[in-house]
């Protein structure tokens, strides 16, 4: 379908507000009781989104809907609404829109489509002009010549030379006058004349043979002269009094297929037709206007060099230049890029690149931000591999080799803290009845006679004897090389292994995630959102995932670090190892909190896809702990026992 049925329409972008918000209302058309799509404007506040069946918050409120935020484009909001109404109105607040590469691509596609439409219009217009030229030639060939028309028109009578219908009827009445009934019609007169078609000649001939009868005179040939007879003989049969007009109306001329009249309306229509030369001129002008319009966006320009990327007067378009471009680009020469201007360059977007390296930056309130390099897939993988190698090497270097190297958690009771209270199965009241701190059975063993000792050897090794350190070769040097208690304690203090699960409401039994969603950022518990952290802290998170066979995408755990609570930008995302469809395993990652990041959100399940399809994932043993080493799953202490002092019965499980 061609213009204007398929003309492109763009939603007007909203400048970002420093203070205050825009209040937007959109009309959504539901199909089969469902609407699914993106809100027209970016950065909508989720808590402000409301759906009603009428405009301006009228009608019934709609509570069945989903709102999701794509990870790759967190400024967008995707909604899915369920209602019996055909139309639903959504109202929300936003601080303004975000300019993205997709907007540029849509604009470029529209420009390309416009050029194609201009070419199509020019081609159709040329064909139409040719058809008009042929039709005009046919008209010229078949048009009546002016001389012929004038001649035929002169044969017509003028209006003042002919009788009107009323005048003709009156003349007939005058002729009939007071004629008797037997002679008041031509038929009756014809019958009275014996239906002689040449009655006048018959009468004339008869009269020619007679003379008038004059009183006092007899018949004589001189009563009707020869001249009079000759005059009568010259009158044609059926002659009547008639004066031929000098002009005639055109209506009396009969048209033929080859000779026709042209009306004033037809002449005006022919004169208003476009000539081939005029039509071609208009088509050329339309084509030139389209080209100039496209050049206004930098399209079609064959060579734009030496531009300054910081130029405030730079118009939207595609350019190449060197001045004020980002450093670090490989090679020498021109840097190619695109500049998008809005609000007289108060807000703008630039993207440049060369040799497979790309940079972009944005302008807010006439102030340019820093150039940011876009990471490539190969570059990101190389960095990830190096980070993994470094993490494994560091983890191996600090791996403890004995229990005494572990830091005890403040929420657990140690053996020394229990003292002589007794624990395990050996209760004091049963095994130390005399309360001397020694098991009664051990006291009995102290007084067993030699004969009462069973399994004693028949022979004995030499008796023991003391030696000083100097008598043992190399012992002093070996002791000197040992770590001092202070040094050993310092090394122990440097090891950080969490052990304690920082996430509440976790379990070692599988739970199920079953949803149809876009970007699968899903947290299994609200307490796992916006947890306070400090820059420089190191954490390890792990979860067991079982991906269903119907899934088409890999799934893994994700940690998101943000600057403020409830915000999605700015942020840093860290991803665990992927679990493929129809498989089970642990997704694990270790990360260090970057600078200016103070809140942590754990997304138990992450699908790196914006396709809306059903996904089923089972999960268990979710654990977040401080340090570089992942330990076996244990529940959070808050889930295991109450806070406060621990009673003896709680330790025994009574």
Q: To the nearest whole number, what is the mean pLDDT of the chain?
A: 78
Q: At what angle do helices 101-142 and 276-295 cross, to 10 degrees?
A: 170
Dist CA 554 CA 608 (whole Å): 8
71, pLDDT greater than 70: yes
Q: Alpha-carbon dihedral of residues 449, 454, 460, 464, nearest 10 degrees?
A: -60
571: tokens are: 């942020």
DSSP state, 57?
T
44: tokens are: 């909508």
146, pLDDT greater than 50: yes
- The Cβ-side half-sphere exposure at 76, using a 13 Å CA radius, reads 17
What residues contact residue 220 under an 8 Å CB cut-off, 6+ apart? 211
- Reported as type and span, the H/E element at residue 90 is strand 87-94
- Reported as type and span, the H/E element at residue 584 is strand 583-592
Closest CA to 520 of 584, 620, 613, 622: 613
- Reported as type and span, the H/E element at residue 532 is strand 531-532
* Residue 413 burial (10 A CB sphere; 0-12, 13-18, 19+): middle
Vertex 638 angle, CA 637 and 639, to 5°: 90
Using the structure block, give the residue that is written with the tokens 């991906």.
Answer: 547
Mean pLDDT in residue range 50-65: 93
- Compute φ and ψ for 252, nearest 5 degrees: -80, -10
What residues contact residue 654 under an 8 Å CB cut-off, 6+ apart? none
Maximum separation of any 2 CA atoms in the chain, in Å: 221
Q: Reduced to 3 DSSP states, what percent helix, strand and coil does the chain have, rounded to the nearest 5?
A: 30, 20, 45
CA 73 from chain center: how many Å? 12
Task: Please state which of the ranges 87-101, 118-132, 597-611 shows the lowest mean pLDDT.
Answer: 597-611
Given CA atoms 559, 565, 568, 570 in this order, what sign does their dihedral have?
negative
**Distance set, CA 584 to CA 241, 415, 554 (Å):** 124, 39, 11
Give the start-to-end residue ranges of the domains of the chain: 17-98, 165-191, 292-374, 495-639
Dist CA 364 CA 157 (whole Å): 87
Q: Please name the residue ranges forming H helices in 296-432.
A: 377-397, 415-418, 428-431
Band of residue 147 on the pLDDT scale cut at 50, 70, 90: low
What residues contact residue 513 under an 8 Å CB cut-off, 6+ apart? 522, 524, 604, 605, 615, 616, 617, 618, 619
Using the structure block, give the residue that is written with the tokens 């003989």.
Answer: 233
- The Cβ-side half-sphere exposure at 291, using a 13 Å CA radius, reads 10
Tell me which CATH code domain 495-639 carries. Answer: 2.60.120
- Reported as type and span, the H/E element at residue 197 is none
DSSP class per residue in 564-577: STT--SSEEEEE--
317-348 confidence digits (pLDDT tens): 887 777 677 765 655 667 778 888 887 778 89
444-464 confidence digits (pLDDT tens): 777 777 777 777 777 766 666
**Distance set, CA 293 to CA 287, 290, 298 (Å):** 10, 5, 9
Band of residue 279 on the pLDDT scale cut at 50, 70, 90: confident
Q: At what angle do helices 226-233 and 199-208 cross, to 10 degrees?
A: 170
Dist CA 176 CA 168 (whole Å): 12
User: What does pTM read for this prediction?
Assistant: 0.29
* Residue 43 burial (10 A CB sphere; 0-12, 13-18, 19+): buried
Count of residues making up the chain: 654
Strand, helix or coil for residue 191: helix
Cβ of 489: how many Cβ atoms within 10 Å?
Answer: 11
Dist CA 541 CA 628 (whole Å): 10
Higher-scoring residue by pLDDT: 228, 595 = 595
Strand, helix or coil for residue 125: helix
466: tokens are: 């003391």
Band of residue 300 on the pLDDT scale cut at 50, 70, 90: very low
80, pLDDT greater than 90: yes
Mean pLDDT in residue range 10-32: 89
Q: What is the pLDDT of residue 551?
A: 82
Q: Are strands 511-517 and 531-532 parallel, antiparallel or unpaired?
A: unpaired
Q: What is the pLDDT of residue 622?
A: 93
80: tokens are: 């899915």
DSSP state, 239?
-
Band of residue 587 on the pLDDT scale cut at 50, 70, 90: very high
Q: What is the pLDDT of residue 652?
A: 44
- Compute φ and ψ for 193, nearest 5 degrees: -90, 15
521: tokens are: 């950022």
Dist CA 549 CA 261 (whole Å): 84
Task: Please state which of the ranges 167-171, 387-391, 427-431, 526-530 shows the lowest mean pLDDT.
Answer: 427-431
- The Cβ-side half-sphere exposure at 255, using a 13 Å CA radius, reads 11
Higher-scoring residue by pLDDT: 465, 403 = 465
Mean pLDDT in residue range 613-640: 87
Band of residue 196 on the pLDDT scale cut at 50, 70, 90: confident
Residue 257 backbone zone (phi > 0: left; psi -120 to 50: alpha; other: beta): alpha
Q: What is the pLDDT of residue 312?
A: 79
Dist CA 423 CA 650 (whole Å): 11
What residues contact residue 445 under an 8 Å CB cut-off, 6+ apart? none
Given CA atoms 527, 531, 537, 540 in this order, what sign does their dihedral have?
positive
- The Cβ-side half-sphere exposure at 624, using a 13 Å CA radius, reads 23
Q: What is the pLDDT of residue 654?
A: 42
């Amino acid at each position: 379908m061609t213009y204007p049925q398929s003309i492109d329409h763009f939603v007007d972008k909203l400048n970002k507000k420093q203070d205050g918000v825009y209040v937007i209302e959109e009309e959504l058309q539901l199909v089969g009781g469902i609407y699914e799509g993106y809100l027209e404007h970016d950065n909508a506040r989720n808590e402000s989104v409301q759906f009603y069946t009428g405009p301006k918050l009228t009608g019934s409120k709609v509570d069945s809907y989903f709102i999701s935020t794509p990870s790759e484009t967190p400024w967008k909001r995707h909604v899915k609404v369920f209602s019996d109404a055909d139309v639903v109105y959504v109202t929300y607040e936003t601080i303004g829109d975000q300019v993205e590469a997709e907007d540029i691509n849509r604009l470029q596609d529209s420009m390309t489509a416009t050029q194609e439409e201009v070419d199509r219009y020019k081609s159709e217009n040329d064909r139409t002009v040719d058809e008009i030229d042929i039709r005009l030639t046919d008209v010229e060939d078949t048009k009546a010549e002016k001389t012929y028309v004038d001649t035929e028109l002169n044969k017509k009578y003028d209006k003042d030379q002919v009788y009107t219908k009323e005048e003709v009827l009156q003349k007939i009445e005058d002729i009939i006058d007071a004629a008797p009934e037997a002679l008041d019609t031509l038929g009756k007169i014809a019958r009275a004349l014996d239906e002689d078609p040449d009655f006048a000649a018959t009468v004339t001939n008869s009269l020619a043979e007679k003379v008038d009868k004059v009183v006092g005179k007899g018949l004589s040939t001189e009563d009707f002269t020869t001249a009079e007879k000759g005059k009568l003989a010259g009158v044609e049969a059926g002659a009547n009094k008639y004066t031929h007009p000098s002009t005639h109306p055109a209506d009396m001329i009969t048209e033929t297929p080859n000779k026709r009249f042209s009306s004033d309306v037809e002449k005006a229509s022919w004169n208003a037709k476009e000539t081939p030369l005029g039509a071609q001129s208009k088509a050329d002008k339309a084509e030139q206007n389209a080209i100039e319009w496209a050049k206004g966006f930098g399209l079609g320009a064959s060579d734009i060099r030496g531009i300054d990327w910081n130029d405030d007067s730079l118009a939207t378009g595609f350019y190449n230049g060197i001045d004020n471009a980002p450093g670090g680009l490989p090679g020498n020469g021109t840097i190619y890029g695109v500049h998008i201007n809005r609000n007289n360059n108060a807000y703008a977007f630039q993207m440049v690149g060369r040799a497979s390296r790309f940079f972009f930056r944005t302008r807010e309130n006439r102030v340019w931000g820093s150039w940011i390099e876009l990471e490539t897939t190969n570059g990101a993988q190389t960095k990830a591999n190096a980070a993994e190698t470094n993490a494994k090497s560091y983890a191996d270097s600090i791996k403890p080799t004995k229990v005494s190297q572990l830091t005890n958690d403040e929420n657990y009771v140690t053996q020394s803290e229990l003292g002589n209270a007794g624990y395990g199965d050996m209760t004091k009241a049963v095994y130390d009845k005399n309360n001397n701190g020694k098991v009664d059975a051990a006291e009995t063993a102290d007084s067993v006679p030699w004969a009462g000792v069973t399994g004693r050897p028949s022979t004995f090794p030499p008796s023991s004897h003391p030696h000083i350190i100097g008598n043992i070769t190399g012992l002093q040097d070996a002791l000197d090389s040992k770590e001092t208690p202070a040094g050993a304690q310092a090394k122990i203090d440097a090891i950080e292994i969490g052990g304690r699960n920082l996430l509440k409401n976790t379990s070692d039994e599988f739970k199920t995630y079953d949803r149809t969603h876009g970007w699968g950022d899903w947290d299994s518990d609200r307490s796992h959102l916006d947890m306070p952290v400090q820059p420089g802290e190191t954490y390890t998170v792990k979860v067991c995932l079982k991906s269903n066979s119907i899934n088409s995408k890999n799934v893994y755990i994700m940690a998101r670090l943000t600057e403020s609570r409830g915000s999605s930008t700015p942020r840093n995302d860290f991803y665990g190892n992927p679990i493929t469809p129809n498989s089970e395993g642990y997704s694990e990652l270790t990360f260090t909190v970057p600078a200016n990041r103070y809140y942590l959100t754990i997304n138990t399940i992450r699908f790196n896809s914006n396709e809306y399809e059903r996904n089923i994932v089972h999960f268990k043993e979710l654990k977040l702990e401080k340090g570089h080493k992942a330990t076996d799953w244990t529940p959070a202490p808050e889930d295991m026992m109450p806070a406060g002092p621990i009673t003896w019965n709680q330790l025994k499980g009574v």
